[in-house]
Every structure is written in C-alpha cells, then in structure tokens.
C-alpha cells in the first residue's frame, strides 16, 4: 500500500502488466476469437439517438435506422456487408445543394483476398426507390478493415480497435504512453464475476470488465478522454457458436453526446465452420465494369465479381489506363525563350544579405573601439 501511495504522489502509475493473470486473460481471449476465425455471420445493425446509456440498453431510441449485414472469413478471404434499404438512406439525407447532401448513414459492401480489396459504396437514387452501386478495386486489405464494424474483431482483423489482446500486449512493452494500472480479480458487474482491467494512456483511460467464464470477453468497456467518460460498450447474450467459441449476440455502444449503435447477431450463424467458396463474391443487379486502381486497368462488365479470378491485363476487353498528365500551359514559349525570373524574390534576398552584413559589422566595430 505504501509503494502505491508513493508512486501516486510522484505522478507515476503502477504497472500491473506482469501479473500472471493478465497473460492468462490475453491467451484465453485470443484463443476464443481464433476458434471463430472462419465461417459466416448474419446480423442487424441499428443507429440512432438515446438520452443516456440506460435508455440505449432498453431500446428507448429516437431516429432509429436499421440495416442488414453479414460477415464471412476464411484465411485471407474476407467479406463484409452492411446494407440500409434505399428508402431509409433517402429519408436520412440533408440536401446541401442540388447535387450534394450529407447523411449519418453509410452502406458498404467490401471484399478482400489479402492482395486486393473490392469496395462497393451503395447509395439510394434521388427518389429513394433503388440502390446505386459505386465499386472499385484497391491494393492490399487496408481499405477492407477501414470499412467494417463488428462487436469483436474476427478473421485477420486481430488488431482492431478495442482489441483486449492488443491492449494487453501494448502494456507488456512497459512504455509510459500505455500502462495497465489496475487488475481487480474480485470485481462484479450486474451480479457476474469479472476481472476489471484499467489501462491509462496519454489522454485517455480504458476500463474492461472481463468475463472469464465465456471466452474472456469484455462484457463492458468504458472509454474516458481527459478523465471524462466518452463512450461505453455493453456486450450481452454471449453465445457458444458451433461448440467452438463465445461471441456476444448483442452489443450496445453509447456515446455521451447521445449517439447509440446496436448489433444483433443471428444465433443460427455458422460461425466457426468453413464458409462456402461462394461467400467471397459480390453480385450486382446488372453487369458492371470494374476499375482496378492498383493495376491501372479497367475490366469489362461482370455481374458477379470474385477477386480470386480477375482477368489478366492481357485478357480480351481489358483496358489499360494511363495516369492523367498535367494540362499544357495556356501559352507555350517559343524555341530559345525561357520565363523571366521573378524580381521580388531576388530583391528580398539582396536586402536580407545587406541587413545581415550590417548586423555582423556593428559588433566588430565595437570590439575594435574597445
């Protein structure tokens, strides 16, 4: 107790990352998610506004919008979709001009094989009766992870935001910018025995309540910024999928500004079982040409796109794209001519040199006179 008091007075947080229980929690958490690193999952996603956390949990929302979603994983092959109906997208628009609008909702479909990512942004037509697809292929899988949201990281997204295993690993580096300051193995949350872990960073603090009996899943996470509670994650209805790993079938996220989000996972999802090959394709209502920004080619139209079977650059119908060249100046110089240099920079440089010389000269004169 005296050591803790002295450390607190000095303004340094105690480091608990070497506690054997902490390493065991990390191992259990990552093993549980690794057991669910393959398979498919269906969910509903809702966003809206709630006055407080209790209202968000009980479903007392306003401006609630709901989307259907799915996730599939098999090694480097991953697919994620979150789709709002066109009328929902249209009703949440705020028109800024004849052609521009803002909206709190986004519909995306995204597919990756590790080497490429196919990103399909889906929006509603102006009358809100149909969906419009805008798709392109990008390099790598970074853009895939930028456009997905899930209660807990799955697939190869093991270092996702609020990943308990990653936070513990960072604390084990023993750096001042991220410290595990408290481990309470006798904590309770809503009558459930949990381990409470508190991490402190440079400007924020994260508190996890970990359920060791169900895959070491954090059933609550509080995030503080500048010592003020900023957002809270509540995970409920933990379900054992395919007899392999636990996953929350409900997650509520509440931001203190009033924003609320909810995931409801379908308990019948075959998460943990091999996903069929057809899970890693994107189908479109009509045949669609595709630009591969990574390889600078344009593929001929297809109705079903699969990154594992893209046409080669020499296939019939594949168009090579060229980088845009800057426009020519409005008046070309004649042969032998060159642009006259700007006079102001030269004058300013000359003036600066004279001023510097005079400043250096004055101290020298004083020394000589002394």
pLDDT at 326: 58
Structure tokens at 351: 């003036």
Residue 30 lies in a domain: yes
Structure tokens at 55: 């209202």
Distance of CA 243 to the CA centre of its chain: 29
Residue 102 lies in a domain: no
pLDDT at 157: 54
Mean pLDDT (10-residue bins), the chain, 370 residues: 30 71 94 94 97 96 96 95 94 84 89 97 88 96 92 68 85 93 96 97 95 97 95 98 97 96 98 96 97 97 97 94 65 36 42 42 32
Domain residue limits at 60 = 13-76+141-277
Q: Which residues of 354-363 are buried (b: 16+ CB within 10 A; e: fewer)?
A: eeeeeeeeee
Residue 81 lies in a domain: no
Residue 273 lies in a domain: yes
**Element spanning 72, H or E:** strand 62-74
pLDDT at 358: 43
pLDDT at 37: 92
pTM of the model: 0.81
The tally of domains found in the chain comes to: 1
Residue 365 lies in a domain: no
* DSSP H helical ranges for the chain: 2-10, 20-34, 53-58, 86-91, 142-146, 164-171, 343-369
pLDDT at 127: 84
pLDDT at 155: 66
Residue 340 lies in a domain: no
Residue 172 lies in a domain: yes
Residue 358 lies in a domain: no
pLDDT at 369: 28
Contact 250, 256 (CB under 8 A): no
Burial class (CB in 10 A: 0-12, 13-18, 19+), 80: buried
Query: Residue 25 sits in a domain of what CATH number?
Result: 2.50.20
């Amino acid at each position: 107790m005296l050591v803790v008091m002295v450390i607190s007075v000095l303004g340094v947080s105690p480091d608990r990352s070497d506690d054997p229980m902490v390493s065991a929690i990390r191992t259990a958490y990552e093993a549980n998610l690794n057991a669910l690193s393959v398979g498919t999952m269906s969910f509903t996603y809702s966003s809206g506004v709630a006055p407080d956390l209790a209202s968000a949990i009980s479903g007392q929302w306003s401006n609630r919008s709901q989307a259907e979603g799915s996730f599939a994983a098999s090694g480097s092959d991953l697919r994620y979709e979150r789709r709002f109906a066109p009328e929902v997208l249209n009703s949440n628009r705020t028109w800024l001009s004849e052609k521009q609008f803002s909206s709190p909702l986004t519909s995306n479909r995204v597919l990756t094989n590790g080497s490429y990512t196919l990103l399909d942004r889906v929006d509603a037509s102006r009358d809100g009766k149909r969906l419009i697809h805008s798709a392109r292929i990008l390099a790598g899988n970074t853009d895939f992870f930028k456009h997905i949201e899930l209660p807990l990281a799955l697939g190869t997204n093991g270092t996702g935001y609020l990943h308990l295993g990653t936070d513990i690993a960072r604390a084990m580096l023993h750096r001042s910018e991220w410290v595990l300051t408290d481990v309470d193995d006798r904590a309770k949350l809503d009558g459930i025995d949990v381990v409470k872990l508190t991490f402190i960073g440079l400007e924020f603090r994260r508190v996890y309540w970990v359920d060791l009996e169900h895959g070491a899943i954090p059933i609550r996470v509080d995030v503080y910024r500048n010592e003020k509670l900023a957002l809270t994650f509540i995970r409920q209805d933990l379900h054992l999928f395919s007899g392999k790993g636990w996953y929350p079938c409900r997650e509520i996220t509440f931001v203190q500004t009033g924003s609320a989000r909810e995931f409801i996972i379908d308990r019948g999802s075959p998460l943990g079982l091999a996903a069929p090959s057809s899970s890693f394709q994107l189908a479109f209502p009509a045949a669609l040409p595709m630009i591969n920004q990574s390889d600078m080619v344009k593929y001929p139209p297809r109705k079903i796109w699969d990154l594992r079977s893209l046409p080669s650059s020499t296939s019939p119908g594949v168009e090579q794209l060229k980088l845009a060249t800057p426009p020519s100046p409005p008046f070309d110089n004649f042969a032998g001519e060159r642009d006259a240099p700007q006079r102001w920079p030269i004058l300013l440089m000359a003036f600066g040199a004279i001023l510097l010389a005079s400043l250096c000269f004055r101290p020298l004169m004083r020394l000589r006179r002394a």
